[in-house]
Structure 1
């Protein structure tokens, strides 16, 4: 009997969206359980760590978004043909996580003067450097990040690209044609396309 999956995350795309995309790609049923921020303080200490996302597998909770995404990717055959390829894929995902952190660091900063300084550094140095290197990787690998084929790194990036644009305050991904083409390919996968067209409208 297949495991019963319950994804617990805020009512956002955020770190939950790559996991949702992977489940959808694989045609794996899951419960998309969304928690409002106002309810989170009342329930957070009932989980292994006071953070989301959480994936419950037959009722057992597991934290950490990238680890959950990697697990689902294994279930749907997107982790690579061997350990070397898996490491290569993981390195791309970790780079995407670093990019997210750099963007969110200024996006969530409450002090406007500090925020602008952080944004200037991120948008003039960190973000262009990372995105240009990721764009080059896609070009070198036949339209994908690793091995000339779809892996969970491609799905992870595509699921998160809208947040990257939102945090940047512009369509920054559109400046990188290889990355834009990759996102278009992933979002053209029928199950993912249908989800993007109907998913809840959220802040980010």
Structure 2
């Protein structure tokens, strides 16, 4: 089987896909696009977006859909429909969290960005992290169903990107979320991947 992931040479939305493929011991072509080349490549991409996932010539887009497909393939998407719902719900919430931080980080208007700063750092980020911490504690160092699922890999894969956008260590003082991260980072395949791809 021929597999290719195409994304920028950053973690961000590409890393959860790379993590899942690595977890599944899948060989894949990790294509990393220079930002200067993106304008000429963009028109050829589905909906003008990356990452894309290609399997034997078939191309898929939308990072969450790709991750969910791989999670089902590698049997970490839930043992039944309710588990799958619990996992999907927390992944969607993590993605909501990412979008709220990104809306601040990528804001071009400095006045608008400054106005967003207080509510984000004083209200939104603490609110989400408190909820995530409790969920991780209740699930024994996982984000759902008390075991390793793609929610954990998705969160851990996004973490460095989230920290970069927020310009802080989001997990400081959050031992249960640190356990989620460590449970992923200590997987032999993921550890080897991270060691080989120091950012």
TM class by shorter chain equals: over 0.9
Aligned residue in 2 for 1:20: 18
The two structures have a TM-score, normalised by structure 1, of 0.94
> Contact 1:8/1:55 (CA < 8 Å) preserved in 2?
yes
Counterpart of 2:32 in 1: which secondary structure? strand
Counterpart of 1:142 in 2: which secondary structure? coil
2:174 corresponds to 1:176: yes
> Contact 2:141/2:183 (CA < 8 Å) preserved in 1?
no
Deviations 1:95-127 (A, max 9, x none): 111111111111111222211221211111111
- Summarize the alignment of residues 96-107 of structure 1 with structure 2, pairs less than 5 Å apart: 96-107=94-105
Number of corresponding residues: 199
Aligned residue in 2 for 1:54: 52
> Contact 1:47/1:61 (CA < 8 Å) preserved in 2?
no
- Distance in 2 (CA, whole Å) between partners of 1:43 and 1:172 is 34
> Contact 1:161/1:173 (CA < 8 Å) preserved in 2?
no
- Distance in 1 (CA, whole Å) between partners of 2:198 and 2:47 is 26
Aligned residue in 2 for 1:92: 90
Aligned residue in 2 for 1:136: 134
Aligned residue in 1 for 2:161: 163
The two structures have a TM-score, normalised by structure 2, of 0.96
- Distance in 2 (CA, whole Å) between partners of 1:192 and 1:40 is 28
- Distance in 2 (CA, whole Å) between partners of 1:18 and 1:119 is 27
> Contact 2:4/2:53 (CA < 8 Å) preserved in 1?
yes
> Contact 2:52/2:63 (CA < 8 Å) preserved in 1?
yes
- Distance in 2 (CA, whole Å) between partners of 1:173 and 1:113 is 28
Counterpart of 1:175 in 2: which secondary structure? coil
Greater shift, 152-161 or 116-125, is seen at 116-125
2:40 corresponds to 1:39: no
What stretches of structure 2 of length at least 5 have no aligned partner?
A: none
- Distance in 1 (CA, whole Å) between partners of 2:70 and 2:28 is 11
Moved over 6 A (4+): none
Deviations 1:45-72 (A, max 9, x none): 1122100010011111111001011111
- Distance in 2 (CA, whole Å) between partners of 1:107 and 1:147 is 32
> Contact 1:7/1:30 (CA < 8 Å) preserved in 2?
yes
- Distance in 2 (CA, whole Å) between partners of 1:51 and 1:134 is 29
